[in-house]
Amino acid sequence: MLRKNRRIFWSMIISLGCMVVFLIGQGAGVKKVSAEEMAPVKKLPSGSITIDGSPHDWDSAGIGPLAELEWLTSFSKPAFKERMRIRSVSVAYDENNLFLLFNINPGIREDFETTGRTGSLAYIYLDSDGSDSSGWRRNADDTYAGWDYRIYIPTGFGGGTTIGPVTPLVEYKLERIKETVIEKVKYGYKYNSEYEDVPNGAKSSLTHKDCIAFHGDYLEICIPLVFLSIKTPTPMKIVIQDLSAFPQAETRESLLLQ
C-alpha cells in the first residue's frame, strides 16, 4: 500500500511539473519578433502610387508581393491555394497613406458578371504599433494581444434602371477594436469583440475612386495613416483573412515601416 501511494504521489508530481512547463511554454509563446525577422515596407515619395487598380506603378517602384506568406484555415491546417481568391498581397506607404494591392482571382468585375452576387472578400486586422501592450486580443485562440483596427472589405453593386446601369463595386470599412471579452465556457472559450467605426473610414470604389479601385485581377486601397494612428517608422502586424476561400483562410505577417 505504501509503495502504491508513493507511485501515485510521484505521478501527481510529474503531472504537475508537466502542467507548469506547459503553462510557461504558453506564456513564452508570445514571440517577440526582431527587426531582422520583419518584412520591410518601402516608403515612397508622395504621388508614387495612383489608386487605379493597376500594379504598374508598384512595379515601377520595385515593390513586389509579400513573400512566403503562410495561409492557414481555421483548423490550423494549410489552406488549399486553388480554393483561395487572394493570390498575393503587396504593401507600401508614403508620408500620408498606407497602400495595399491584392491580386485576386476572380477579379471584382469578373466575379460579379459571373455570379451576379454581392459578397465579402476579406477582413484585415492591424496592430498599428507592433506592441502587445496596446490594443486588444483578436480572438480567444490568438497568440498575442495588441490588435488596434479591423478593415472589412465587402463587394456589391450600384445603379439600376432608374439611375444608370448596374455597376460592381468594392468597399472598405475601417473599425477600431475597443475591447475583447474572453469567457471560459464548457468546451473552451468564446469571445466578443466590440468595434467602433472610424470617422470617414468607409470608402467605396464608386464614390471614393482615389481610395479604392479595381481593375482586372487587382484591387488597390489607400488608407490615411492618421486614421490608423501610425507614426512612422514603426513595426506593424497584419492579419489578412480570405473570406472567399473554402474553408476560410488567413495569413499573418510582421512588417517594418522603415
Q: What is the pLDDT along the chain (258 residues), one digit of tens a residue?
A: 444 444 444 444 434 333 333 233 333 334 456 666 889 998 999 999 999 999 999 999 999 999 989 999 977 889 988 899 999 999 999 999 999 999 999 999 999 999 888 999 999 999 999 888 889 988 877 888 899 999 999 999 987 656 678 899 999 999 999 988 888 888 877 778 899 999 999 999 999 999 999 999 999 999 999 999 998 899 999 999 999 998 999 999 999 998
- Within-domain flag for 148: yes
Own/partner long-range contacts of 183-191 (Cβ < 8 Å, ≥24 apart): 188/140, 189/140, 189/141, 190/140, 191/137, 191/139, 191/140
- Within-domain flag for 220: yes
Task: Name the residue range of residue 139's domain.
Answer: 42-257
- Within-domain flag for 24: no
- The 8-class DSSP code of residue 37 comes to G
- Within-domain flag for 7: no
- Within-domain flag for 106: yes
- The 8-class DSSP code of residue 30 comes to S
- Within-domain flag for 153: yes
Q: How many domains does the chain have?
A: 1
